[in-house]
Amino acid sequence: MKNRELEVVLLKEMQKIRPQFQIKSMVDFKHSEEKTLPRIVSRTLNNSIVEKYEERKDGDKGIYQQIEVHRHTITFTFTLSKKESEEDVEVIRNHFSHIVGSEWWIDRKRKELVIEEITDLIDISEYTKDGYTERYSFDMMVRTLEENIAEIEHVEKVELELKLKGGISWESK
């Protein structure tokens, strides 16, 4: 699963819990003209392959299946308006905390993922020239499963008929 695709799946799930939040991946947020509060911005910090294995099944066709397990580290940053509070962010974080490592979660597009770990909520609020900006952040470690399947027909016997036209000569010394 691509980084942005995974971020969007998780952001949409967060928006179901608190619909008033605008959701954006960092890629979209950078180029967005429409920035409202409250909002959640996601950013993939790391994506690495933690397991990779192949399986071969024989039959009429040779079926080769390659499976990769990716580990994504995604940070979610919440910027609040005056109407929201830390409790709104905590409700979203707790929703995902209850399904950490329980089982593979399959979304509508048949993408499989499992939430491995969620970090503590960090207060990154700051005073700016425009006033106080309330911000919170937490990281989520997610494993995704990606399968690649190739069907290759077995070739039992190959017969070649070579016809030589002209002559080839060489001298060995």
pLDDT digits (tens, 9 = 90+) for 4-18: 999 999 999 999 999
CATH number for 137: 3.30.2000
In 10 A of CB 14, how many CB atoms? 21
Q: Which domain holds residue 55?
A: 3-153
> Mean pLDDT over all residues of the chain?
86
Question: Domains in the chain: how many in total?
Answer: 1
Give 20 or 64, the one with higher predicted confidence: 20
* Confidence (pTM): 0.77
The reply to whether 108 falls in a domain is yes
Contacts for 33 with CB less than 8 Å, ≥ 6 apart: none
Q: Among residues 75, 44, 48, which one has the least CA distance to residue 140? A: 75
3-state DSSP assignment of residue 73: strand
The reply to whether 171 falls in a domain is no
Q: Are 6 and 113 in contact (CB under 8 A)?
A: yes
pLDDT digits (tens, 9 = 90+) for 19-61: 999 999 998 898 888 889 999 999 999 999 998 888 877 666 7
